[in-house]
Amino acid sequence: MSTYKIPVGPLHVALEEPMYFKVEVEGETVTGLDIQAGHVHRGIEYLVAKRNIHQNIVLTERICSLCSNSHPFSYCMALERIGGIIVPERVEYLRVVADEIKRIASHLFNVAITAHLVGFDTLFMQVMETREIMQDTKETIFGNRMDLGANRIGGVRYDLDGEGKAYLAAQLARMKAPLDEFRDLYETNGSFLRRTKGVGVLPRADAIRLGLVGPVARASGVDYDVRRKAPYVVYDRLDFDVQTLADGDVWSRTMIRLREVKESVRIIEQCLRDIPEGPISIDAIPEIPAGEAIAKSEAPRGELIYYLRTDGSDKPARLKWRVPSYNNWKGLQVMMAGCKVADIALIVGSIDPCISCTER
């Protein structure tokens, strides 16, 4: 049987962002994988050192579209720790609401793309139609369908009055029946199961060895979620379940995201119920002293870590982030070993890679 190499990317119809793989195959079976990165490098870690602390809120939100709220959220938390800033309690609830809305939209996008990659385009369109409920919600509450602009140092830039809370609650209620229908389809449809069950398997031991995070790790039985293990803002006061599955295949990674969408709906509903009255920002931002801090959050793709060092000026001395996709794409070498060529795009999509985050 002949052995040869197949180039996949950096521009490929089945890849969401530019990635380049050199795939070694024997017949139709993958025997080796080499990932070559750097095709969307933008030098953002350099650019943040040239902008002041306020401008960087805008810049960090543009690192990635689907997890755009997680970056300025984590950046603000790191800056607030250095400055000793205590945000109002209402701000903490509003930050959770914004982050979970983005998580719902991000997860549903990946779940829909998975359906498209297996050729189930009717399901793809139905999931995307339901995702539009959250897109419309973002446009109504934040004024934008992608970058929310929700965060500021010491507070948030939006608020929810009685009418806004009622609107958001109604939008969440609209999603519940479709989400239950999707779960039944993804769990029982024979065509979908044949393409995803047992495909791209990542054993739990390999997920731990490689340091994988987020839904990819939880689909392999790794019970780790920053919201539970290292709670921030008000996550320690909210009731939600960390979703895990044991098989570690494409199907499991899809189901973890679907289940987490329902948990996000629960979280937002609790926030709407428990959010206290109060200001949405501190009165004045103090001078930020020299110092350093680390902030962690659970982005849609997993653990996001921000390291910030300041020197007493209004510009960061150093800002660095470790994004979940940086860890997760190492798992592809395990997932693709022995898979078929036709499954390459499906397996890559199942880790929901964010190349713009990774190649910053």
> Torsion angle, CA of 186/190/191/197, rounded to 10 degrees?
70
Could you give the 3-state DSSP secondary structure of residue 178?
helix
Q: How far apart are CA 272 and CA 268, in angstroms?
A: 6
Given a contact cutoff of 8 angstroms between Cβ atoms, the answer to whether 113 and 16 are in contact is yes
Given a contact cutoff of 8 angstroms between Cβ atoms, the answer to whether 66 and 109 are in contact is yes
Angle value at C-alpha 160, between 158 and 163, nearest 5 degrees: 135
Given a contact cutoff of 8 angstroms between Cβ atoms, the answer to whether 232 and 77 are in contact is yes
- Dihedral over Cα of 201, 212, 261, 114: its sign: negative
Which of 6, 3, 9 has its CA nearest to residue 349?
9
Give the number of other Cβ atoms within 10 Å of residue 302's Cβ. Answer: 25
Residue found by looking up tokens 């030098």 in the block: 43
Give the number of other Cβ atoms within 10 Å of residue 95's Cβ. Answer: 24
Say whether 181 counts as a known binding-site residue: no
Say whether 271 counts as a known binding-site residue: no
Q: Give the phi and the psi of residue 172 in degrees, each rounded to 5.
A: -65, -40
Residue found by looking up tokens 């998975």 in the block: 114
Report CA 104 to chain centroid distance, whole Å.
9
Q: Give the phi and the psi of residue 109 in degrees, each rounded to 5.
A: -65, -45
Say whether 357 counts as a known binding-site residue: yes
In total, the chain counts a number of residues equal to 360
Given a contact cutoff of 8 angstroms between Cβ atoms, the answer to whether 296 and 74 are in contact is yes
Residue found by looking up tokens 């197949």 in the block: 6
Give the number of other Cβ atoms within 10 Å of residue 326's Cβ. Answer: 20
Summarize the annotated binding site for Ni(2+) as residue ranges.
Answer: 64, 67, 354
Summarize the annotated binding site as residue ranges.
Answer: 45, 64, 67, 354, 357
Summarize the annotated binding site for Fe cation as residue ranges.
Answer: 67, 357
Summarize the annotated binding site for Mg(2+) as residue ranges.
Answer: 45
